Structure 1
Amino acid sequence: MSAASVAAGGSTTALRLRSLTWTVFVPMVVYGIGSGAAAPMYALRALDLGASAGLAGVVVALSGLGMVLTDLPAGRIVAVIGERGAIAVGSVFGVGGVLAAIFAPNVAVLALGMVLNGAAGAVWGLARQTYLVAVVPAGDLGRAMSTLAGSMRLGFFCGPFLGAAMVHVLGPNGALWLQLASTALAGVAMAAIRSADAAGATTARISLGAVMIEHRRTLGTLGLAALLTGAARAARLALLPLWAAHIGVSASTTSLVFGVAGAVDVLMSYPSGVWLDRYGRRATGVPSMILFAAGFGVLPFTSSVLGLCVAAVLLGLANGVSNGLIMTVGADVAPDAQRAEFLGAWRLTHDIGMFAGPVAVGAISAVTALGAAALALALAAAGGAYAMHRWFPGVIGHTPQRRPGHDEAG
């Protein structure tokens, strides 16, 4: 499937996106299934190896560190060997990370596996994003990005249910075996794409530092909103279960609440893309951050399952509305000549937030109270809403930067 054929794959948006189903979207569902099944098991694997609860939390957080450390190198990998080659590299990282976790004789090897998993996510994510930027018409980019992100979220939502039987038989490693199989299968499926940015192979390479300096204003303004979005997204996963335990909600009930919020998140995936393309990035991003602020703000005042569910649904709705937002804005402003390198730096701003959010929850809670962490996150989300209102592009046709060869996207 060539880039040209994909971009012109039909007279309607549905047909254009449908042409990416088996090479992009379905593999992402498969990849998400393994990730969702394994995500809650890594902490248990660390405990099995003798780690304390605190150390187990640190080990799990190393996946985020792996993404942060790899975002910039991932941009260079994609620029040099193309999307297809980068997917192969990411698959090797992912398979190696899961194998290290399965056969880890101690916590140190498990920690290495977590870093490799994060590196795989960074390389995979950037390769997918740069491919879509190259082959999807600018006016449909919001729907493409939201469908991509929604595919991952759908798989992540289904993963724990599909992996339950393997966990019952094999313990935590059962879910890790499922992740190993899904990573390999998704990598093979996505290898069917052809690297879309053929011109990138002949373009003179510039240093990553030079890219960051040249685009420092964009990364410092729009990137601030991306960082705060990443912090809100990741912090909700750390804060909600802690608050549930604080008010005495059982683990099984907490899981059910998460399931309801996750369903709301997934159901919003495609509508959020339609809004991105129809009403613009600002009109989608600002409400999503207001919803994050409302969810975090109401959480300290809840003391029952119903109240917890309201806060969780608000946060799930916020996450769903923001689905694909950051990737789409990055695609809007990415310069064609430095697309992969710039998007690596752009993803870094978001992933720093993803790593810092849970750390902030722990740090604030340690010196004050858990409710104070929630209120601090509400203020941060409100700041993100202001940053998006101030710097994000508005309706289609009003982006900060035009991508040559396409209509303006907003």
Structure 2
Amino acid sequence: MTAERDETIKWRSLIIPIYGPTILISIGMGAVVPLIALSALDLGATVAQAAVVVGLIGMGQLAGDLPAGALAQRFGEKPVLLAACLVEAAAMLVASRTDSLAVLSIAVFVSGLASAVFGLARHAYLSEAVAAHFRARALSTLGGTFRIGSFIGPFVGALLVEQFSIGATYAFAACMSLAGGLLSLTLPSLPGVAPVSPADTAERPPGLWSVLARHRRVLLTLGVGVLLISAARATRQSIVPLWAESQGLDASTVSVIFGISAGVDMLLFYPGGAIMDRFGRMWVALPAMIVLGAGFLLLPLTSSAVAIGLVACLMGLGNGISSGIVLTLGADVAPDEGRRQFLGGWRLCADLGNVTGPGLISLITLAFPLGAAAIALGAIAWFGAGWLARWVPAYAPSPAEERVTAG
């Protein structure tokens, strides 16, 4: 009982240095992301080119995942967090001032790189700072703060565009990144972890590729599971508005549907973490994928705003309760030696799902109607549920096993 109390106090001491920067930066990026395509169009891009520019955020995250692990291993989480915030702020300032499509594209890509580094450093820090019996709640809260910021951001962006300009929104995002970097300076050092010194060459840390090769089995099994989770989440955000538009709903109605669904999503991040800590990771991973799959399969049966809204809320339920599952599973299976490099590979699996998931919609709809794409995605989500049912118990310890190990 005392240990739980002490660990809870320790976790609360991280609210400002860990969760504060996350919510600030996600508000800033949430304000910017809906406007990137418009910025590209204003600079002379075609619709296809504008879509590519938006996709450069995800490409930057993919490119940055593995180097992020190496950087965190080399310099430690605190300097890397600060550097990522400064780089992202610089990219947003450049985007706010440029009149070149190429420069905007580079800035968006660099922002994705910085986001990967920032996300890896937070993940690695919390994986070590918080005890296993409280890990899921801590990491689900991290996912929840990102959701809250992403929900608030677009409203702030709309206000700034109305009062000033799109450039002012990028400048606002830069200020949020700088504020996040300043808050990161308050991050306490991990107990028992000495700072890395360039002069320390007697015991060289394991290399990135050796760590990934050593743990390739978990990346090719459980890692595929998190890829499927990420793909289901990302396609949910794409297919619901596409289906709503195909049924004749206007943009304002779609926005209301998304807002309500996001509200359901945000309410469930902490309960999801509590369930994982108390009962085990399977009690969230499996229901979340089943619910998301059901939402995909039900979507082609809807035509009215109410029906589409109800399905969107169902999918928001599945997405919200799974907040932090990818981070938590990664922390569960990360090795003590080479933890940061391993988490870089782990996050690469998740980001591959984020990028390839929406691409499946485009690929399927080349030959089939949108409803067929929804059915295919539902089948993939349910396949993912079966895959997770096979591999989560093999790697993620149950709460009873954690208590025995701690004892």
Regarding TM over 0.5, the answer is yes
Residue 13 of structure 1 and its aligned partner are, at CA, apart by: 5.3
Distance 1:103 1:9, change over 3 A: farther
Mapping of residues 149-188 of structure 1, within 5 Å = 149-188=143-182
Q: C-alpha displacement at 1:270, in angstroms?
A: 0.6
CA distance in 1 between partners of 2:16 and 2:129 (Å): 15
Q: Give CA-to-partner distance per residue, 1:320-370, whole Å, 9 cap, x none.
A: 111000101100111111110000110000001001111221222223221
Over the matched positions of the two proteins, sequence identity in percent amounts to: 39
| Aligned-residue offset at 1:293 | 0.3
> Which residue number in structure 2 is paired with residue 127 of structure 1?
121
Judged with a 3 Å threshold, the aligned counterparts in structure 2 of structure 1 residues 200 and 189 are, in CA distance, closer, same or farther, namely closer
**Counterpart residue number, 2:91:** 97
- The equivalent residue for 1:407 is 406
Give the counterpart letter for 2:107 in structure 1.
G
1:198 aligned partner? 193
User: Match of 1:345, as an amino acid?
Assistant: G
Q: Which residue does 2:399 correspond to in 1?
A: 396
Counterpart of 2:324? 324
Alignment-derived partner of residue 257 in structure 2: 257
Q: Which moved more, 1:342-351 or 1:175-184?
A: 175-184
Please state how far the C-alpha of 1:317 moved relative to its aligned partner.
1.0
Range moving further from structure 2, 219-228 or 353-362: 353-362
The AA in structure 2 aligned to 1:78 is A
Cα displacement string for residues 107-161 of structure 1 (whole angstroms, at most 9, x for unaligned residues): 2222111111111111111111111111111100000000111111111111122
How many Å separate the matches in 1 of 2:74 and 2:102?
32
Shift of 1:14: 4.2
Structure 1's consecutive aligned runs of 4 or more residues displaced over 4 angstroms after TM superposition are: none
Tell me, which stretches of 5 or more residues in structure 2 are unaligned? none
Shift of 1:199: 4.8
Please give the per-residue CA displacement for 1:22-67, whole angstroms capped at 9, x wherever unaligned.
1111221111111211121111111111112222111111111111
Alpha-carbon distance, 1:17 to partner: 2.5
Cα pair 1:80 1:200 within 8 Å, conserved: no
For residues 263 and 174 of structure 1, the distance between their equivalents in structure 2, rounded to whole angstroms, comes to 27
User: Distance between the aligned counterparts of 1:136 and 1:170, measured in 2?
Assistant: 43
Partners of 2:231 and 2:115 in 1: CA distance: 17
Q: 1:360-391, CA deviations, whole angstroms, 9 ceiling, x for partnerless residues?
A: 21222223221222112111111111111111
How far apart are the structure 2 equivalents of 1:156 and 1:26?
Answer: 14
Q: Structure 2 residue aligned with 1:30, among 24, 30, 37?
A: 24
Q: Distance in 2 between matches of 1:133 and 1:91?
A: 20
Which residue is 2:211 aligned to?
211
Q: 358-367 or 228-237, which moves further after superposition?
A: 358-367
After superposition, the Cα gap between the structure-2 partners of 1:32 and 1:158, relative to the gap in structure 1 and judged at 3 Å, is same
| Residue number in structure 1 paired with 2:13 | 19
* Pair 1:87-2:81 in alignment: yes
Match of 2:110, as an amino acid?
A: L
Mapping of residues 222-241 of structure 1, within 5 Å: 222-241=222-241
Residue segments in structure 1 that go unaligned for 5+ positions in a row: 1-7
Is the 1:46–1:110 Cα contact (8 Å) retained in structure 2?
yes
Structure 1 segment 226-375 matched on structure 2, within 5 A:
226-375=226-375
Instruction: Give how far 1:395 is off.
Output: 2.5
1:46 aligns with 2:40: yes
SS in 2 for 1:336: coil
CA separation in 1, counterparts of 2:112 and 2:296? 26
Cα root mean square deviation, aligned? 2.1
User: Which sits farther off after the overlay, 332-341 or 195-204?
Assistant: 195-204
Distance 1:233 1:52 in 2: 28
Q: Which whole-Å CA distance do the structure 2 matches of 1:288 and 1:212 have between them?
A: 28
How many pairs were matched up?
Answer: 397
Q: Partners in 2 of 1:227 and 1:407 — Cα distance?
A: 30
User: Aligned residue for 1:145?
Assistant: 139
